[in-house]
Amino acid sequence: MKSNYIISLKSSGLCFNIMRLIILTEVAKKFNRGLIFLTKPAHIPVLKKFNKECIFLPYTAEHTNMFNNFTRNRSI
């Protein structure tokens, strides 16, 4: 793995984001990587309670367009 970070892109509901954050936090520790988590702005305060070292980036309209499953599939 050449990257120093694990980046989570898919934003979902808060419960699923908490589960994904917990799992990715363990993976990042195991491989000595940082974690960047894109999520809805309203989810960030809650997610910070599960990982204070993670870099949280709030989703913008451009992120939704770039990472939307329909858009990705259409581009393939």
Give the C-alpha separation, 32 to 26, whole Å. Answer: 10
The angle formed by the CA atoms of residues 42, 59 and 30, to the nearest 5 degrees, is: 90
Res 39: pLDDT: 86
Residue appearing with tokens 């898919």: 10
Decide if pLDDT at 2 tops 80: no
Q: Provide the β-strand partners of residue 26.
A: none
Give the C-alpha separation, 33 to 62, whole Å. Answer: 26
pLDDT tens for each residue of 22-71? 999 999 999 999 999 988 889 999 999 999 999 998 887 776 666 665 55
Decide if pLDDT at 15 tops 70: yes
